[in-house]
Amino acid sequence: MLYVELGRTGLKVSQIGVGCWQIGSRSWGWGAEYGEEEVIQAIRTAIDHGVNFIDTAEIYGGGESEKIVGRAIKEIKEKVIIATKVWPTHLTYDNVLKACERSLSRLGVDVIDLYQIHWPNPFIPINQTMRAMERLVKEGKIRHIGLCNFSLKQFIRAQEVLKREEIVSNQVKYNMIEREAEKELIPYAEKNKITIIAYSPLAQGLLTGKYDPANRPRDYVRRINILFDEENLKRLLPLIQLLKEIAGRRGKTPAQVALNWLIRRLEVIAIPGAKRPAQAEENAGAADFKLTDDELRIIEETLRNIRIRKTVSLLKIPLRLLRG
């Protein structure tokens, strides 16, 4: 496993973490084909393979994800760094404090290592939210503050209103196909020693190579993800083919190649979601090799030639949901 410092905190975090949206969200969007015991074992397997970073949120499964994470780490709390998130409807001063208490209780911990704001809320002044976050640090309920899905302007504003603490991380959507964060957020983070936490690092499973136009996932989350549109899956076939070729040559899997591409080029933490122990083990195995310059160049060339459709006609949405 590879480890990087979280911001300037001194905490060493594994570059592969476990994303826990799936955990607890079985009937809430990610399908129902996996069970609670499997997801608990997935977290423990990841930890056995050197992963120490677990990312969840109060919203995942309406609190179910935090509860299951709590069960999974009960005996090994000292081995893990727990990150959770407060939902944007809870960003007033009092609501942040209350939301944090609920998360602590569901997780069964005394302190949350990284408390992140899940999405900005333009209707609640950010200084109010950040005052509450600083109070939580002072009271020892959270160790560090992170943000997710903030634009650069919103991020800088949130930093400016903090009096004592620094924002240590920025969680953004980042994978081979979705690279918007490279424009502003990643350069800013690198310059200011803020850790980038890459969510959807496998493009919600697309980069594992198991989906194609004839075999699309049927769960709700991915039925509304434009990447899984039939036309896009067709356009992405050359990339999937390449990932399979590289994986075959290196004795790895396409998922491991896609994750390695993220963590070897930059000091990011990738948090693939895992439904089963085998997936968690495979994802942890993405850290123990290094793509060559040639492989990186060919990946880049292939990506340059792929154009993704970014929008779907409004008329098609109900149809897409019905068809799956």
For the bound state, the minimum distance from the C-beta of residue 31 to ligand NAP, rounded and expressed in Å, comes to 6
Residues 6+ positions from 295 with CB-CB distance below 8 Å? 246
Per-residue x/- mask for ligand NAP, residues 37 to 56, rule CB under 6 A? ------------------x-
Separation between Cα atoms, residue 253 and residue 232, nearest integer Å: 22
Catalytic residue status for 60: yes
Catalytic residue among 3, 60, 174, 211: 60
Give the residue among 14, 136, 139, 112 at the shortest CA–CA distance from 56.
Answer: 112
| Under rule CB under 6 A, residue 272 binds ligand NAP | yes
- Give the number of other Cβ atoms within 10 Å of residue 197's Cβ: 28
For the bound state, the minimum distance from the C-beta of residue 163 to ligand NAP, rounded and expressed in Å, comes to 25
Count residues binding ligand NAP (CB under 6 A).
30
Separation between Cα atoms, residue 274 and residue 282, nearest integer Å: 10
Residue nearest to ligand NAP (CB): 19
For the bound state, the minimum distance from the C-beta of residue 138 to ligand NAP, rounded and expressed in Å, comes to 25
Q: Which is nearer to ligand NAP, 38 or 295 (CB)?
A: 38
Give the H/E segment covering residue 85.
strand 81-86
**Chain residues 64-123 in contact with ligand NAP, contact rule CB under 6 A:** 118
Instruction: Pinpoint the alpha helices (H) of 236-275.
Output: 237-250, 254-265
| Under rule CB under 6 A, residue 204 binds ligand NAP | yes
Separation between Cα atoms, residue 297 and residue 315, nearest integer Å: 39
Which residues are tagged catalytic?
60
Q: Which residues bind ligand NAP (CB under 6 A)?
A: 19-22, 30-31, 55, 118, 148-149, 171, 199-205, 208, 210, 217, 255, 271-275, 279, 282-283
